[in-house]
Structure 1
Amino acid sequence: MDYNGLKKDLLIVGILVSFLTPFVRSSINLAIPFLANEFTLSAVFLTWISTIYLLVNAILYIPFGRIGDIYGRKRIFQYGLIIFTVSSFISAFSTSGEMFLFFRVFQAIGNAMIFANLNAMISSAFPVNERGKAFGLTSMSVFVGLILGPILGGVITEMVGWRTLFYMDTVIGIIAAYAITRFKYDWIDAQGEKLDILGSFLLGISLIAILYGFSDFTSSYSLFLILAGIFGMSLFYLVEKRAAFPLINLDLFKIKRFTFGNITALLNYGAFVSVGFILTLYLQYLKGYSPITAGLIVSVQSVMMVLVSPFAGRLSDKIDPGSVSTMGMVLTTIGVALMTLITFENALYLGGLALIIFGSGIGLFYSSNTKMVMSAVDKRYYGVASATLSNMRSMGQIFGMGIVMIIISTVLGNVQITPSAYPELIVSLRSSLIAIAVLSAVGIFTSLFKD
């Protein structure tokens, strides 16, 4: 077997799919107004376009990671890629909002199958001293997708229509699907074991309750959902302790690099997502910039992520990846802390500096953290480890945005943002940045637990 050829093909596939799904998620946001007009959709229905995607992933990430360990990571990855590509193509022919949302669910299923196993496949194919470089390149591709999604998505949607976005996704998916058929090798490191159905159910329901509770924390039932989710996780723990083939081997959480690496990933991704949202509000409402201009300014951080990620990956092959991820958290915290000092007078130079430092921190952290977490576990658990890390990033997104929503609703209230409310908006955005800076500082602390 040409093992170098296998690694090359796998890396090509990893780069393509790492670009594809962030591009889809970020580009579809700009198409939402067009979908609303064409299908006469309510505001509540529109929120489900993103919410359903996140919830489906929350249910399925870890079970599909475990299934990959048992039945073959490449097989589950390939099936997921096919499901994602076909559902993207059919989505382009949607004739109603309900039809679009239905195939959105299948896109989420395919995405869960893909990203529950991608990092596991890379860890299986690449030796430890080469994984950082591989993760650096796939991380770079993620950030390229996040940059080009809003830019190309807006241009394509306005010029030729939102359906063309899904045609593009289909083409990329077909190329990736062809590339992965070039090698026949698969990784099955837990063959003969069985999937824990009860544990999968309990974990899925618990995560849905927690994530949905945090996604709408200002509602009357959010606290109940979060507490119910915590209770469900307690039942999950008891079931896993007694399961012959647990969904997650709880002994993994005795490994500090695995446990604290995942916790730090949650905090880092919470900062990443929420800072972009805060800055978008600031630039459009308080500075008066157009959505395109605001998007280009915020993309400075993503450009830095693209530039730094490959370097961070190579660096984590030469020195301890835990140290690289700690450096990333330090820069992330400094970047957010500088943002809390932005005023109308210094917004240009201080804001630009903060975005450069913040983006560099995220870029340093992402690939090095992935390598540290994946290298901490035995190869039998690569699928579960990969899926757990993906899930923590999704939970970080909801957690970070939940904190921002709590602060904005407390300071600003449930009112329309008008010039008369700008003083409260300024206070709420600055308070949100302070809270995110504190969380990032906690991330520095958790990233130090490596041994």
Structure 2
Amino acid sequence: MDYQELKKDLLLVGILVSFLTPFVRSSINLALPALAFEFDLSAVFLTWISTVYLLVNAILYIPFGRIGDIYGRKRIFQYGLIIFTISSFISAFSPSGEIFLAFRVLQAIGNAMIFANLNAMISSAFPEKERGRAFGLTSMGVFAGLIFGPILGGAITEMVGWRTLFYLDTVIGLIAVFAITRFKHDWIDAEGEKLDILGSFILGLSLLAIIYGFSDFTNSYSLFLVIAGIMGLSLFYLVEKRVRYPLINLGLFSSRSFTFGNITAFINYGAFVSVGFILTLYLQYLKGYDPLTAGLIVSVQSIVMVLVSPFAGRLSDKIAPEKVSTAGMVLTTLGVALMTLINFENALYLGGCSLIIFGAGIGLFYSANTKVVLSAVDRRYFGVASATLSDVRSMGQIFGMGIIMIIISTIMGDVEIMPSNYPQLILSLRYALIALAVLSAVGIFTSLHKD
């Protein structure tokens, strides 16, 4: 296989896999009310269906990125895809909400193995002047998954039930597994080095304490967990300075592009996933739309992302990618700010405009931000840098969902959503959007920093 053919095959696999996991995540959002009805789940439990997936990813991204650097990025990527596909299949047979949540953990492990290494594989195969276009095409796959996830998720849930979603996920996963097994090349840029097991353990426990404490901040022990997690990160820093092969080369953070690129990704993803969750609740509970109609409405922002992302990728190859990502943050902030003004009278036109603006912002930001971060490091650190970016994106999503969980828990309590508490739900969602708009505005300034 010649080098050009290798790059084409890698792009095809990358687009397919980039489609798969957001398709699963966004389709599940439309099935949440059906899951709540079948298993008698509370609003807070529904947030855990999304949060636990992100939590496991946050803990495992960096170790799997480092493992990919040492043992082969394609190998770990392939194993993760197999785990993801198997767990999707068994999720269809969940007898309870708790068992379904356990299967989501398995899915998250596979997802961490996949996305800790995908961008590192692309960075390894493509020179810097071509990476923006490559990231733009794979991000198009992500956003296409976000389009068809709500549409098919809503239609399938309404017509044949939520379990069929996972049969479809399994079929897509099998196609992706077949495609990657045909791909013979691998990249091992840190061969012979060792995985920092102690650092991985300390980092995982620290992130678990911080994220779990924050996501359930209404309990008395939450502050203790957050403090313990911060102390754990301090210990992790001391360990990493002393080991021969650290899990994370702390020198990477001396690059302003790498550091602030990750901070901005954290902020952007805090808004990205949280807005989709909020809109799902608003459209189905408060507006009374069926899952299919709600899915079609939510897909508007993803359609815009698909249209914008290839253009954004090519643009970030021609001009400074920091400028492209900053423009994306401006539009993201404006889109969320407009959503705070939505009410029953203007929901259709104002909601549509805000979704278009928000989708354009995310589409501009994604590939440009990926190029900023990955181009700031040496190729032997592509795996851990890619995993770090995936990790902060995942933590940003958890942070955003945590904001929603705190606000819902404070205003509504841990109760099932019913017409009698719709006024409290409306208030909760509006406050959550205001918080996300403020957070996005901060991201405009962090995205401006570069080396």
TM-score for the superposition, normalised by structure 1: 0.91
Aligned to 1:446: 446
Please state how far the C-alpha of 1:447 moved relative to its aligned partner: 0.3
1:178-189 paired onto structure 2 within 5 Å? 178-189=178-189
Q: Are the equivalent residues in 2 in contact too, given 1:65–1:116 (CA < 8 A)?
A: yes
CA distance in 2, matches of 1:35, 1:285: 14
CA distance 1:175–1:132, change in 2 (3 Å): same
Please state how far the C-alpha of 1:35 moved relative to its aligned partner: 5.8
Q: Are the equivalent residues in 1 in contact too, given 2:331–2:361 (CA < 8 A)?
A: yes
1:132-151 paired onto structure 2 within 5 Å? 132-151=132-151
Aligned to 2:305: 305
Q: Are the equivalent residues in 1 in contact too, given 2:54–2:397 (CA < 8 A)?
A: no
1:311-326 paired onto structure 2 within 5 Å? 311-326=311-326
Letter in 2 for 1:377: V
CA distance in 1, matches of 2:439, 2:32: 31
CA distance in 1, matches of 2:150, 2:348: 22
CA distance 1:253–1:349, change in 2 (3 Å): same
CA distance in 1, matches of 2:162, 2:285: 26
CA distance 1:326–1:284, change in 2 (3 Å): same
Match of 2:246, SS state, is: coil
CA distance in 1, matches of 2:98, 2:265: 34
Letter in 2 for 1:302: S
CA distance in 2, matches of 1:86, 1:430: 38
CA distance 1:94–1:398, change in 2 (3 Å): closer
Letter in 2 for 1:263: I
Residue segments in structure 1 that go unaligned for 5+ positions in a row: none
Aligned to 1:270: 270
Aligned to 1:167: 167
Q: Are the equivalent residues in 2 in contact too, given 1:9–1:182 (CA < 8 A)?
A: no
1:14 paired with 2:14, answer yes
CA distance in 2, matches of 1:363, 1:410: 33
Aligned to 1:211: 211
CA distance 1:91–1:351, change in 2 (3 Å): closer
1:344-383 paired onto structure 2 within 5 Å? 344-383=344-383
Please state how far the C-alpha of 1:331 moved relative to its aligned partner: 0.9
Please state how far the C-alpha of 1:93 moved relative to its aligned partner: 4.9
1:19-30 paired onto structure 2 within 5 Å? 19-30=19-30
Aligned to 2:104: 104
Letter in 1 for 2:108: A
Aligned to 2:329: 329
Please state how far the C-alpha of 1:73 moved relative to its aligned partner: 0.5
CA distance in 2, matches of 1:238, 1:25: 36
Please state how far the C-alpha of 1:185 moved relative to its aligned partner: 1.7
Identical amino acids, percent of aligned pairs:
82
Letter in 1 for 2:185: Y
CA distance 1:432–1:45, change in 2 (3 Å): closer
CA distance 1:344–1:162, change in 2 (3 Å): closer
Letter in 1 for 2:324: V
CA distance in 1, matches of 2:273, 2:107: 21
Q: Are the equivalent residues in 1 in contact too, given 2:330–2:444 (CA < 8 A)?
A: yes
CA distance in 1, matches of 2:334, 2:347: 16
Match of 2:444, SS state, is: helix
Please state how far the C-alpha of 1:155 moved relative to its aligned partner: 2.5
CA distance in 2, matches of 1:342, 1:387: 37
CA distance 1:56–1:421, change in 2 (3 Å): closer
CA distance in 2, matches of 1:88, 1:127: 35
Please state how far the C-alpha of 1:26 moved relative to its aligned partner: 2.4
CA distance in 2, matches of 1:94, 1:370: 36
Please state how far the C-alpha of 1:424 moved relative to its aligned partner: 5.2
1:372-451 paired onto structure 2 within 5 Å? 372-411=372-411, 425-451=425-451
CA distance 1:433–1:192, change in 2 (3 Å): same
CA distance 1:137–1:322, change in 2 (3 Å): same
Aligned to 1:195: 195
Letter in 2 for 1:336: V
CA distance in 1, matches of 2:160, 2:439: 42
CA distance 1:421–1:163, change in 2 (3 Å): closer
For residues 185-236 of structure 1, what are the alpha-carbon distances to aligned partners after superposition, in whole Å with 9 as ceiling and x for unaligned? 2111111110000000011111111111222222222222211111111111
CA distance 1:37–1:383, change in 2 (3 Å): same
Letter in 2 for 1:117: N
CA distance in 1, matches of 2:336, 2:37: 37
CA distance in 2, matches of 1:384, 1:186: 16
CA distance in 1, matches of 2:194, 2:151: 45
CA distance in 1, matches of 2:60, 2:410: 34
CA distance in 1, matches of 2:5, 2:134: 14
Aligned to 1:89: 89
CA distance 1:79–1:344, change in 2 (3 Å): closer
CA distance 1:94–1:218, change in 2 (3 Å): closer
Q: Are the equivalent residues in 2 in contact too, given 1:283–1:289 (CA < 8 A)?
A: yes
Please state how far the C-alpha of 1:55 moved relative to its aligned partner: 2.7
CA distance in 2, matches of 1:35, 1:433: 25
CA distance in 1, matches of 2:290, 2:160: 21
CA distance in 2, matches of 1:96, 1:421: 25
CA distance in 2, matches of 1:35, 1:422: 19
CA distance 1:195–1:101, change in 2 (3 Å): same
CA distance in 2, matches of 1:247, 1:78: 22
Aligned to 1:227: 227
Please state how far the C-alpha of 1:102 moved relative to its aligned partner: 4.7
CA distance in 1, matches of 2:289, 2:34: 22
Residue segments in structure 2 that go unaligned for 5+ positions in a row: none
CA distance in 2, matches of 1:358, 1:49: 24
For residues 268-314 of structure 1, what are the alpha-carbon distances to aligned partners after superposition, in whole Å with 9 as ceiling and x for unaligned? 01111222233344444554444443332232212211111111111
CA distance in 1, matches of 2:386, 2:372: 11
For residues 166-187 of structure 1, what are the alpha-carbon distances to aligned partners after superposition, in whole Å with 9 as ceiling and x for unaligned? 3322222222222223332211
1:237 paired with 2:243, answer no
For residues 333-370 of structure 1, what are the alpha-carbon distances to aligned partners after superposition, in whole Å with 9 as ceiling and x for unaligned? 12122223344444433332222111100110011101
Match of 2:439, SS state, is: helix
CA distance in 1, matches of 2:408, 2:95: 37
Match of 1:172, SS state, is: helix
Count residues with an aligned counterpart: 450
CA distance in 1, matches of 2:30, 2:370: 30
- Range that drifts further, 411-420 or 51-60: 411-420
Q: Are the equivalent residues in 2 in contact too, given 1:218–1:406 (CA < 8 A)?
A: yes
